[in-house]
Amino acid sequence: MMPHDPNFAWTVGELNRYAQSVVRAQLGDTIWLCGELGRIQPNVSGHVYGVLKDELGNSISIVFFGGARRMSSLHLEAGSCVLLKGNLDLYVTTGSYQFSVREVVPANAQGSLMQCYLETRKRLSAEGLFAVERKRPLPMHPACVAVITSPTGAALQDFLKTAYGRVPNLHVRVVPSPMQGVGAGAKVAAMVQCLNAWHACEVIVITRGGGSMEDLWEFNDETLARAVAASTIPVVSAVGHQIDVTMLDYVADVSVITPTQAANAVTEGVLQLANAVAQYAQSLPRMMHHRLDAARLRFTRAAGCAFLQRPQDLYHPQAQRLDNAQLRLVNALPGRARELRLRLDELQRRLPKAVERWLTERKSRLRNLALPLGTLDPRGVLKRGYSILLDDRRKAVRKATETSPGQQVTALLAEGEIRLEVKG
């Protein structure tokens, strides 16, 4: 329910109904609640009203519709510690919220089991056994469906009635197994492993009707959960009713709430295939007539086509075009050859002059480069009457202090050399 327009006032009923929808949406359909029973008041209609409280004194109203007999059989009274399964609801008439009980378990009897169940579920979830990506789709057309169930239960009859009503020739293999009581989960697990070992089917259905939490407790067995997770054959869980969720439902590839829905799930692919075949059977003649009409029209058009009546008209123009091209080519070759010969003669005539001009330009450039180089040549300075003194290592003497009396030096002139002795 959407909130009212803020410009208008709520009625009490609208506010209570909106609060009820919020509570249901946030907490879902099923939660567990633990505590100590306060006052409990069964009435003549079989319903039980009471209070549940915790050790801190917090309390909440509870209602267990039709639960008087169940409470009596468990000998529950004020002060009993219990685990309650149900949903939080809001009583619209008075605006007070209460816990609607669907199942009650004495904490001193089943509390440790529930704790073990929660720990196991957490561990298996962490291992990825509940992950959606590991779940496999059911085959479209299973050759054989194995149903693990009690052979005398109503669940088997519901499954067979629905399955054969949808697919009369479906091959169903019934695998008898106890569906409740101590050890039932391990026996169902053994049947799952046996079917896998023998490749005895393409889909496994585990089904039974609803019941109390004690009746369905074996389907929380860890051995069964691991056997189903390890199964190479897709497994369908159809145990209990909508309010019952077991470990098997979490790990199975497909989880439904009734045997009828399980039968629908395993035969859905066959029905889809049958419907597709029926649709193709209806559309195939129409498609064939359409294709034939189209082919007939193409043939009629082709029969009236001038090119197909006179195929030579297709290649005659092309042959004529080829002849014309050949003639043009023969006529063009001598002219092209003359043109190339004239061009070659012209190049031969121009080449000597071009080479001579190129050499002249290079000689001139060399002379221009030689002038500045000549001004830097030491021999040009020597020709003007200068000389260069060299020591014994043929290094130029620049300062008088670089010589000593009696040292032999060489005077380098413009033409030749003179050996000199330093006197002082």
Give the C-alpha separation, 43 to 65, whole Å.
Answer: 10
H-only helix segments in 43-106: 68-73
pLDDT score for 48: 92
Q: CB burial class (10 A; 0-12, 13-18, 19+) of residue 75?
A: exposed
Domains 12-109 and 132-268 are alike in CATH topology: no
Of residues 159, 212, 215, 211, the one with CA closest to residue 185: 215
Instruction: Determine if the pTM surpasses 0.85.
Output: no
Most confident among 107-116, 134-143, 299-308 (mean pLDDT):
134-143
Q: What would you report as the CA-atom Rg of the chain, rounded to the nearest whole angstrom?
A: 54
Q: Where are the domains of the chain?
A: 12-109, 132-268, 380-421
Which residues, listed in sequence order, are joined to residue 410 by a DSSP beta bridge?
390, 419
pLDDT the model gives residue 208 = 93
How many Å apart are CA 53 and CA 74, to the nearest integer?
19
Helix axes 222-230, 107-126, angle to 10 degrees: 20
Per-residue pLDDT of 231-242, as tens digits, reads 999 999 999 766
Tell me which of 218 and 379 has the higher pLDDT.
218
Q: Give the three-class secondary structure for 218.
A: helix
Of the chain, the percentage scoring pLDDT greater than 90 comes to 36
Question: What ranges make up the beta strands (E) of 137-224?
Answer: 145-149, 172-176, 203-208
Q: What mean pLDDT value characterizes the chain?
A: 86
Q: What one-character-per-residue DSSP string does 233-258 give?
A: S-EEEEES-TT---HHHHHSSEE-SS
pLDDT (tens digit per residue) in 8-32: 788 888 888 888 888 878 877 788 8
Quick: pLDDT tens for 73-117.
888 888 788 888 888 888 888 888 899 998 888 876 455 566 677
Query: What is the spatial distance between Cα 252 and Cα 254, in angstroms, rounded to a whole number?
Result: 5
Average pLDDT over residues 345-362: 90
* CATH 3.40.50.360 given to domain 132-268: no
Mean pLDDT of 214-237: 92
What strands, in cross-sheet order, belong to the sheet with 254-255? 172-176, 145-149, 203-208, 235-239, 254-255
Comparison of pLDDT for 194 and 387, the residue scoring more: 194
59 or 383, which is more confident: 59
| CATH class of the domain comprising 12-109 | mainly beta
